[in-house]
Each structure stands twice: as structure tokens, then as C-alpha cells.
């Protein structure tokens, strides 16, 4: 009996070690405050994301992503079907509970995407740039990184969503995003509320 448990325990330990290696650096003491969202906001945001994910399956999106904060939904990326962009937008606008929809899904033909691939970040590059922005927020004094979301599209535009406690915090968070070399443009969807 113990022999069958040992491999499972070893596998569990290996998984814990692998996951621990992927965890970002610890948050500074000044940044340890919890998100300024209520539990009901978090639950509602998660429900909205589930609805958007269903639409992403319906429209077979690959290069489209989302971010959400306090029912303010950001949808961004590329589709190579112009009709799908419009239909997807119309359906996303009908999702219950969304207070604001920030729509940045762009039509770009497969041929154009191929022709411009050297100018674009692509999914991997966008993911790396997003990780850099989030790491910068963790290191920045005066930025409560838990209250911000970054979305980076394949065209190297950063969309920053969230809530700052002051204008200074907002500017610092936006500047940290703009300081990432791969990012060409920063779009601001940050609200200032103490």
C-alpha cells in the first residue's frame, strides 16, 4: 500500500516544485494590500469571463484575449474574418453584467498577418511583454500591482485596465508599461479612485 502512495506523493511534490518555480517574485510589503475589488465583483468578473470564453469558442478565436476589472471588459487581438469581428462584438455587447466594453479586436487577413509577421509581437512575444509589465509593477514603488491588468496585443499595443488610488499611481503604472521596449503604444483604461 505504501509503495503506491509514494509515487503519487513524489509526483505531487514535483508538481509543487515546478509551480513554485513559475511564481513571480514576492510582492513588496507596501504592495501587499489585497485588491480593492469586493468578493461579489470578483465573482461577477469570473462569470463574465466564462461567457466571453464561450464566445471565443464560438468564433474560433486564437489571437484574441480578455482582461476584466470591476465588470469593465477588455477584449483585444486579431481575427482574420471581418464578419466574425462584428458578430463577436455584437455578442460581447450582450453579455449580462458588463459595465463597459473596451473593444480592440482588429480584422487582419491571414495574408496580411503573414506579410507583417516580422513587425508583430505574435502571441509569444505579447505574453512575454505582459509578463515584463507585471514584473515591473511588482518592483515599482507606489504601484499596487494587484489592482491593474495588462493586455498586450500582437501589434505591440498595451491596454492597461484597473484602478489606481491616485493620479500619481496611475501615471507610474502606465509609465512602467510604456518602458517595456517591445511596446509601441499604451492605451489607458485606468480609473482613479482612492
Distance, CA of 129 to CA of 169 (rounded, Å): 21
11-21: pLDDT as tens digits: 343 333 333 33
Whole-number pLDDT of residue 171? 97
Question: DSSP code of 81?
Answer: -
Going 32 to 139 to 150 to 130, the CA torsion angle's sign is: negative
Q: Which residues of the chain have pLDDT under 70?
A: 1-35
Whole-number pLDDT of residue 123? 83
Overall pTM surpassing 0.75 (yes/no): yes
Amino acid at each position: 500500500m505504501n509503495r503506491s502512495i509514494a509515487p503519487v506523493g513524489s509526483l505531487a511534490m514535483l508538481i509543487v516544485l515546478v509551480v513554485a518555480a513559475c511564481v513571480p517574485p514576492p510582492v513588496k510589503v507596501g504592495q501587499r494590500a489585497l485588491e480593492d475589488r469586493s468578493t461579489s465583483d470578483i465573482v461577477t468578473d469570473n462569470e463574465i469571463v466564462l461567457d466571453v470564453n464561450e464566445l471565443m469558442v464560438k468564433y474560433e478565436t486564437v489571437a484574441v484575449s480578455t482582461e476584466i476589472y470591476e465588470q469593465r471588459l477588455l477584449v483585444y487581438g486579431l481575427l482574420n474574418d471581418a464578419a466574425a469581428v462584428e458578430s463577436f462584438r455584437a455578442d460581447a455587447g450582450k453579455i449580462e453584467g458588463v459595465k463597459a466594453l473596451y473593444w480592440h479586436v482588429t480584422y487582419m487577413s491571414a495574408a496580411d498577418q503573414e506579410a507583417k509577421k516580422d513587425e508583430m509581437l505574435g502571441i509569444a512575444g505579447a505574453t512575454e511583454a505582459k509578463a515584463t509589465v507585471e514584473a515591473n509593477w511588482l518592483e515599482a514603488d507606489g504601484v499596487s500591482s494587484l489592482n491593474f491588468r495588462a493586455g498586450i496585443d500582437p501589434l505591440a499595443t498595451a491596454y492597461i485596465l484597473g484602478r489606481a488610488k491616485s493620479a500619481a499611481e496611475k501615471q507610474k503604472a502606465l509609465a512602467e508599461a510604456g518602458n517595456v521596449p517591445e511596446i509601441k503604444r499604451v492605451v489607458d483604461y485606468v480609473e482613479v479612485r482612492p
